[in-house]
Chain A
């Protein structure tokens, strides 16, 4: 397995104030890494650091195997969209291709077709011309996932993708993510849902007071020794 992302003793935080120290882990192609930890333990901060939205305070983050930092598509924890934003589903999904445009002002025909493909893949083709802000939370998540797929099909970073979804929507979302993983996309997912994590993850990174990284099996053995999940 070729490593795509390596964190080597990385310290992360805001404004030079560290929140987490000495984080070491790596992700290889096809992995399904789940990041778990309590509220406020720094999961979203880790994600922002990985994406390059905030700088790491110490240590090295390396990208290899033909992967660049900008090859990561992501689904934010909270959609930062203002209440009144006028945008159709299609416009939003298409905007995922912006990173491939460079200075080119318009999207190509191929990109437009791919956007439609991704909309179909997410099962939201009937919503294509709907206004984003008038969709339900679960529908919005799918739209943003379709956008992320336009930006890349190598690595997807998902920050609590099922928060606020009902049981069925949640199940659908997990299955969708699993099918993407099966087709070769590396998944990095932040989650609180331990039973689902046990079901789907190949690797687990636990952050907080104690930091653990390993395969799912290692994690289960480790937590058994400690008596229950850490």
Chain B
């Protein structure tokens, strides 16, 4: 406990907690939609695209990597969605191609052009998140906070539309809801969430951060609203616990959070079984 209080005096620890909680909140919001709609594979593919962009940003020595990764990921999200709507290549095949391609390209770029002495360390960090506590520059923190708030506000604003779209897109479309427009919004928000979450857990673990809280909440609750609220709470609690544990035990922050998410899932599964 003393150790924790001592750590809290450092601004970077406080930053890490604030940013961690906000990112966890955002990433849980669209979990249900991602799990239940074909968007899930897009989420997976995008995280790899974000990795590729991150590699390029690292090599070109951009001071703020999000300036590159964010637009690239958003554009890929939109392209993937468009492609999914009207193409002969099956959606998942296209995503698999793009995501594996981006992964290979990113690693290649990092290996060939990197000036850093520890290439495999850098790659590992990008894939699995930083090995110790998050060290974010102040501008990164502000950007994270602003983007997170934007995601939460957008989500609340579009909540009912996202429900209608997730539950039955054809019905919404047939009765005159502008489904393409809202799909576009959802894709953009997912892209933003992925770029944000990459800071926290690295690009390979993003899906876990997004999907586990939603799956856990679905074990216990049966209305969309209850599941959404519950998954937000689970996600925030898991992130807090994970970050604190990682500070105290010196474990890698991303995988610690995901491990807590897995434990939470097991507990919720148990509760769900008992309830039934």
Q: Does B142 contact A (CB under 8 A)?
A: no
Partner of A101, one of B161, B171, B174: B161
> Is A107's CB under 8 angstroms from B160's CB?
yes
> Is A88's CB under 8 angstroms from B224's CB?
yes
Partner of B171, one of A76, A82, A88, A106: A76
In angstroms, how far is the closest chain B Cβ from the Cβ of A81? 7
> Is A98's CB under 8 angstroms from B160's CB?
yes
In angstroms, how far is the closest chain B Cβ from the Cβ of A77? 11
Interface size on A, residues (CB 8 A): 37
Mark contacts of B164-186 with chain A using CB atoms, 8 A cut-off: 1 yes-contact digit, 0 otherwise. Answer: 10111011111111000000000
> Is A53's CB under 8 angstroms from B160's CB?
no
Partner of A95, one of B35, B157, B167, B225: B167
User: With contacts A73-B175, A98-B177, A152-B175 known, is A88 near B161, CB below 8 A?
Assistant: no
Residue of A nearest to B163 (CB): A95
> Is A91's CB under 8 angstroms from B170's CB?
no
Q: Does A134 contact B (CB under 8 A)?
A: yes
Contacts of B161 in A (CB 8 A): 98, 101, 105
Q: Does B32 contact A (CB under 8 A)?
A: yes
Q: What number of A-B contacts does a CB cutoff of 8 Å give?
A: 93
Q: How far is the CA of A72 from the CA of B157 in the complex (A)?
A: 26
Tell me the residues in window 107-134 of chain A with beta carbons closer than 8 Å to chain B beta carbons. 107, 129-131, 134
Partner of B224, one of A74, A91, A105, A129: A91
> Is A95's CB under 8 angstroms from B36's CB?
no
Contacts of B160 in A (CB 8 A): 94-95, 98, 101, 105-107
Mark contacts of B5-31 with chain A using CB atoms, 8 A cut-off: 1 yes-contact digit, 0 otherwise. Answer: 000000000000000000000000000
User: With contacts A85-B167, A95-B167, A99-B176 known, is A105 near B218, CB below 8 A?
Assistant: no
Contacts of B224 in A (CB 8 A): 86-88, 91
Q: Interface of A with B (CB < 8 Å)?
A: 51-53, 68-70, 72-74, 76, 79-82, 84-88, 91-92, 94-96, 98-99, 101, 105-107, 129-131, 134, 147, 151-152
10 cross-chain pairs, A with B, having the tightest CB-CB distances, nearest first: A70-B176, A131-B222, A88-B223, A51-B174, A99-B175, A98-B164, A151-B175, A99-B176, A95-B164, A86-B227
